[in-house]
Amino acid sequence: MLYFSKLRIISISFICLFFIFVASNNLFSPDKRFFDKKINLGLDLQGGSYLLLEIDNSPVIEQKLQNTTSTIRTYFKDKGIRIGNLNLSNQKISFTVEEQFKQSVIDEFNNENSEINPYYPRFKSHQFDLVDLGNSLELNFSKQGLVELKNSSQDQALEIVRRRIDEIGTNEPNILKRGNDRVLVELPGLDDPKRIKSLLGKTANLTFRFVSNDNQDSFGVEKLKHENGLDEDFVSKRIILSGDNLLDAQPRMDSQTNETVVSFTLDRVGAKRFGKATSANIGRQLAIILDGKIISAPVIRDTIASGSGQISGGFTFQSATDLSLLLRSGALPAPLNIIEERTVGPDLGQDSIDAGMIALIIGFLLVIIFIFIKYKTFGLITNVTLIINLLILLGILTLFEATLTLPGIAGIILTVGMAVDANVLIFERIKEELKNEKNNIIAFDSGYVKSRTAILDANITTLLAAIILFFMGSGPIKGFSVTLGVGIFTTLFSVYFIARLFTSIYVTKNKDKEALI
């Protein structure tokens, strides 16, 4: 029936007032808002920067093959099989093995439970392909192995990029995968992405190694340049510590030298290793190397057993802050190259907002006028309900701090059309009921009940489409699906609770009146 209890009326009123209050928060400046939540504008509306990054997986492939080379040597040595001429070249590992052991080696690589050649059941393939060249065996990544490696590298890069951007405090960044070796970064409101590009362009691979001019170093030495590009030193290839051992890094002012430094804290394993290395090498220079360049090479004066230290290198506070950020967020698995960059100006964003708002206002006014002419008093009820529906929708988007894009505005406009469509179905059904039923209350109640199936069917199918768009789409498509999906729920609530409440009040007071609609 059209009857509404006092509790239901109070509940409906509270929900409407609450979301209207939340939606109104968007009208005020940041210092006058009731709470710190608002609808954020997407890149297409407020302008900003668009970066498409490509992952250079060559170093990852080389590193993986180098590790595999060591694994092969150790693994077969333990099994009493001698591997000879083990060589890595052009992303392929080649080696020789005595003829009597060759088949055993091939079987080991092709075994689904192989310890040195992982098997991917979903691909029905191994990570590596082993080719018999007669005099030698050759190992290289299989197609599936490369796919897995690139996917893993992309997942890691995505997480590191997200950490670095979040540390800066960029508002509502959009960071997405593209293919299996690209990452898309959208930064609304950021007109100059110079600092972001600088941070994303650094792999941030940190190592601590001793300066060594002794060519007889058992681990080998290599010549590396200092960050100034002028000086250079020979350093041991032996890595004492890596960035993986860092717990935290922060910019600080050295009270003694009044110099900006980066202080760091090591985990337990790193602290123990660092203490042991410094105690045994007092008087030697310890090179701190970032992405293949020496940023500092202090002389060890005493044992460092506290698990903390500092990096100096003529930093400004900004450069020390950025280095700390890079070290905290971790090293990228592979270098990132910017292959596409666009800056969307705020004028274009404002044009989009204005065009969307004009379309929304014109469409809304035309709908209001048509409904009022067609259904008179009930058209007025529908129009009031539409306005409340829009405010509830905006209130929900505000609570979730949703990012509104131009397609999102299109989703809101579509919500208005769907809400009107539901009311038209109800009113036309009521007209049919009034032809056979003289009691207005029963006719109106039957109209709402009998039109419910058609309305639910239409809205559920639209909701399914919105869900598919959300999970299968990206960027603007998701923005459209979010506003459309939320709009479906607010439409059903407004039609069957708000509009029905107003209708019940009017019909109850005019139950004996003829031709109500």
Give the separation between CA 460 and CA 78, rounded to whole angstroms: 63
The whole-number pLDDT of residue 226 equals 86
Class level of CATH domain 48-203+332-344: alpha beta
Question: E-assigned strands of 74-165?
Answer: 83-89, 92-97, 119-120, 125-126, 128-132, 137-141
Which pLDDT score, from 0 to 100, does residue 239 have? 85
Q: What is the pTM of this model?
A: 0.62
pLDDT tens, position by position, for the chain (517 residues)?
Answer: 567 788 989 999 999 999 999 888 888 777 777 777 888 777 777 778 888 899 988 888 887 888 888 888 888 888 888 888 888 888 888 988 888 888 888 888 888 888 788 887 777 788 888 888 888 888 889 888 888 888 888 888 888 888 888 777 666 677 888 888 899 888 887 766 787 888 787 888 888 888 887 666 677 788 888 877 778 888 888 888 888 888 888 888 887 778 888 888 888 888 888 888 888 888 888 888 888 888 888 888 888 888 888 887 778 888 888 888 888 887 788 888 888 888 776 655 667 667 777 877 887 788 888 888 888 888 898 899 989 999 999 999 888 877 777 788 888 888 888 888 888 888 888 888 888 877 878 888 888 888 888 899 988 999 999 999 888 876 667 778 888 899 999 999 998 899 889 988 888 887 777 666 6
Taking a C-beta distance cutoff of 8 angstroms, is the pair 204, 330 a contact? yes
CA distance 490 to 499: 12
Q: Report DSSP letters for 183-194, one per residue.
A: EEEEEET-S--H
Residue 110 has a pLDDT of: 85
The residues of the chain that CATH labels 3.30.70.3400 are 48-203+332-344
Question: For the chain, how far is it from start to end, CA to CA, in angstroms?
Answer: 18
SS3 per residue for 14-52: HHHHHHHHHHHHHHCCHHHCCCCCCCEECHHHHCEEEEE
Identify whether the C-beta of residue 185 lies closer than 8 Å to the C-beta of residue 200: yes
Residue 219 CB contacts under 8 Å (≥ 6 apart), including other chains: 236, 237, 238
* Backbone torsions φ then ψ of 351, nearest 5 degrees: -60, -40
Q: How far is CA 362 from the centre of its chain?
A: 36
CATH code for the domain defined by 206-331: 3.30.1360.200
Residues of the chain with CATH 3.30.1360.200: 206-331
- C-alpha 401/C-alpha 50 separation (Å) is 21
Query: Which pLDDT value is given to residue 494?
Result: 92
What pLDDT does 479 receive? 78
Pairing verdict, β 206-210 and 241-242: antiparallel
99, 102, 104, 106: CA torsion to nearest 10: -160
pLDDT at 111: 85
Residue 453 buriedness (CB in 10 A; 0-12 / 13-18 / 19+): exposed
User: What CATH superfamily classification does 6-47+345-509 receive?
Assistant: Multidrug efflux transporter AcrB transmembrane domain (1.20.1640.10)
Q: Tell me what pLDDT residue 341 has.
A: 84
Per DSSP bridges, beta strands 40-41 and 403-404 are parallel
Rounded Cα gap, residues 102 and 136, in angstroms: 9
Looking at residue 188, what is its pLDDT? 80
